[in-house]
């Protein structure tokens, strides 16, 4: 158990996940009573340094918070983060089915708020999907799992060109999937595409481009060919068409999303450090 390494700082209550490279525990801060998650790596070789680098830059209401990283003399590494009590968005959709537009808009607003902040700090997530959108005890979105992130030193530099294909193919932008053939892509625009897929899944309950055949699916992505549902409002349909634009040059940007009429209904920009 990891608690022997923390001199009474954290009280470990249970094992949450026993993975190949790490174990994840639920624990409580013995001073504040706050719940935390402790990820234990038996070897520093299994630690994703980029993930720690990314999370150490971020402090935002809708981003999972890194509390501390501790290494022991015998090589074990512990990563302590805030704990999201209410599971993740994928689990919520699976249990209750598609959301209405108001709830979808609320969660999409929280997601875009977190993505805008991450980009301002030079962090491009590159694996945005419902499984990586955790929910805290107030049912607020917490963007998590920065293991595939790209981090740049100058967040003001426009359009960083990334070259490695990564992420989950059903949520990855077409230019990311094709990057393995020698092309590059803008991490900000790639994240926007993934946010568009998440929005579609919340409303529809299924993926916009998934039909079981990878080649055909990628072809539909490249053509921007997906079904708009009758129940979707005109404003939502228009926004989805701009989010899932296969051309990153004309795809809507995060700043443009925030100015969109459908998006702005009831929107309040949270402060970065809430």
User: Is residue 127 annotated as part of the catalytic site, yes or no?
Assistant: yes
Point out the catalytic residue in the list 127, 145, 186, 245: 127
Q: Which residues of 30-39 are buried (b: 16+ CB within 10 A; e: fewer)?
A: eeeeebbbbb
Q: How many angstroms separate the Cα of 191 from the Cα of each of 7, 14, 92, 165?
A: 40, 34, 22, 13
Task: For residue 235, give the nearest of 265, 268, 269 by alpha carbon.
Answer: 265
CB 180 within 8 A of CB 165: yes
Separation of alpha carbons 267 and 233, rounded Å: 18
180 contacts: CB under 8 Å, gap ≥ 6:
164, 165
- Active-site residue set: 127
């Amino acid at each position: 158990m990891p608690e022997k390494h923390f001199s009474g700082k954290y009280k470990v209550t249970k094992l949450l996940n026993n993975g190949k490279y790490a174990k994840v525990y639920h624990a409580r801060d013995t001073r504040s009573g706050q719940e935390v998650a402790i990820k234990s790596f038996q070897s520093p070789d299994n630690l994703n340094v980029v993930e720690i680098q990314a999370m150490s830059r971020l402090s935002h209401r809708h981003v999972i918070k890194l509390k501390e990283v501790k290494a022991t003399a015998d090589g074990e590494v512990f990563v302590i983060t805030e704990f999201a009590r209410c599971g993740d968005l994928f689990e919520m959709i699976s249990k209750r089915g598609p959301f209405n537009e108001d709830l979808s808009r609320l969660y999409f607003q929280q997601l875009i708020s977190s993505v805008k902040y991450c980009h301002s700090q030079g962090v491009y997530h590159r694996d945005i999907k419902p499984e990586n959108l955790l929910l805290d005890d107030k049912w607020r979105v917490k963007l998590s799992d920065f293991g595939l992130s790209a981090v740049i030193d100058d967040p003001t530099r426009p359009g960083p060109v990334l070259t490695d294909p990564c992420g989950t193919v059903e949520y990855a932008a077409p230019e990311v999937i094709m990057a393995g053939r020698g092309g590059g892509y803008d991490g900000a625009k790639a994240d926007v595409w993934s946010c568009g897929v998440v929005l579609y899944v919340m409303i529809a309950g299924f993926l916009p481009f998934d039909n079981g055949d990878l080649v055909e699916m990628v072809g539909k992505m490249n053509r921007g060919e997906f079904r708009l549902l009758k129940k979707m409002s005109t404003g939502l349909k228009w926004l989805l068409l701009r989010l899932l634009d296969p051309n990153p040059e004309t795809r809507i940007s995060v700043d443009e999303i925030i100015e969109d009429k459908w998006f702005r209904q009831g929107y309040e920009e949270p402060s970065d450090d809430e």
